[in-house]
Structure 1
Amino acid sequence: MQLIDGKATAEAIKGEIAIEVKEILANGGKQPHLAAVLVGNDGGSRTYVNHKVKACEQCGFKSTLLEFEETITEEELLAVVDKLNKDEDIDGFIVQLPLPKHIDETKVTLAIDPAKDVDGFHPENLGRMMIGLPGFLPATPYGIVQLLERYGIETSGKKCVVVGRSNIVGTPMSLLMSRNAKVGNCTVTLTHSRTADLAAETREADILIAALGKPEFVTADMVKEGAVVIDVGTSRVKDDSKKSGFSLKGDVKFDEVSPKCSFITPVPGGVGPMTVVTLMRNTLLAAKNR
């Protein structure tokens, strides 16, 4: 079993981006600028945004964090999005999800200029991905593709099973793994809560990608011997032995599944850091495009 170290891979990619940014600035180019919008005080969202701000510093980007109370109205938030769309200095921006229940997340996503949608959530970018045109790939699936490529994991002709069909991870992941590309050419099964005999499907997987948000859902009896397992889940589970009062758990029961795997990502330190660094790659691309 080989551990896929997302943290080390992300650090290497940030170093590559920083070198490229220095070259851009040395040639008189503009410093890439990423903005993040944070609504409310959700602990997980704040942690993710802080990671993104720190990554901007490491990559040599300019960053702006806009924070708003949970009471902000949908109309006010849409006005913020419109202002960021029109700001010539900002190359890309994200609106951190989830948003308060009184705000329509789809409406906010649709309001973002696709040319600044570095999260890759806008339907235009998802559509471009679907037919193989250049655009911003969703950060988490793109990060997983990067891990598979950098670890030299063969995907062509393999059976890939994705557990979870969210628009942010599962569905775009299934499309990326099936496309005709260096990382791709898999036969893909996209499974979900209505899948009959889910374990029978996952046991067929050469590459198993768990993205359903249920801690330690995938157990050893669900995994084929020698499979590559990518754990996207990050759930906070009560843990009195920790100072924080919780532990981070993935969707995979790591201790019992890992001995069966050829490769596996840990939680934390696997997919999470790659999601952040892929956002940096998309921001650099947005800056170049502009």
Structure 2
Amino acid sequence: MRWRNTRQSSNVDDRRGQGPAQSGLPAAALLRFIPFLLKTKVGKLILVVGGLYLAFQYFTGGPGMVGVQQGSGPLQQQTSSGSKLPARDEDAQFVAAILGTTETVWRQLLNDQYPEPQLVLYENMTQTGCGMGQAQSGPFYCPADSKVYLDLSFMDELKKLGAPGDFAFAYVIAHEVGHHVQNVLGTHKQVAQQQQQASETEANRLSVMIELQADCYAGVWGYYVHHDMQLLEPGDIEEGLQAASSVGDDRLQEMAGRAVQPDAFTHGTSAQRVSWFKKGFASGNPKDCDTFQSLE
């Protein structure tokens, strides 16, 4: 992708280099383990050592204090909305550039009635409006706080899944932003209400529809990135399609050595994900992304 000369979004919150406490983990979540530790000698020893450590951090200004934000230092590269990411950090610069293109596209399509989401870069785990976010779950969108959460290690996971390339990762970002579009349009709330009253199989089916629509919205974004912004290079589309295929429920179940169980699908098959991305990319029209009508 020709992304280096594009506008970078200012809506990036860089929490990398921070511990769980600095990234928003409430002290109560840590303190709840104290009763269990008090029941054993080893647990009591852990509490004593931990207390001494926290005291040391308190008096030296170290990073270990729960809920205390320290001054600027090498680990305080937090980039709140409006500030810039380190110029040497190309992966983070790429994420900010892709997020910027999604802002341009969806502002245009929604007639400027588009509250831009914030994207949080983190490592391993971070506090979110939807609970504790963990890198092992992959990139995700939290409708409660309208933020996309992303650990850059997922770039390596995509490669392991057979989907390398910058556009493959860009597709992932665009897919998560697609969930934000659903939140803005009220689709997420409607589906969540239906899922509360549905059986597990039906709830999974509704989840598949939501995910495939986000794939289609990613395709819509791709249409404008290609035709209007002219950012795509030869091979980019194939990278995006491979990424969509690599995260299909059937493929992931097979890779895990499990039998394919359609009733347990929550994101759709590889073929479905590719198909809906292609549909959005072909037209650039969000109205063509009605997965709910098509899958009934």
| TM-score, normalising length: structure 2 | 0.26
Richer in helix (by share): 2
Richer in strand (by share): 1
Larger-gyration structure (1/2): 2
Flag the structure with more relative contact order, 1 or 2, with Cα contacts below 8 A and sequence separation at least 6.
Answer: 1
| TM-score, normalising length: structure 1 | 0.27
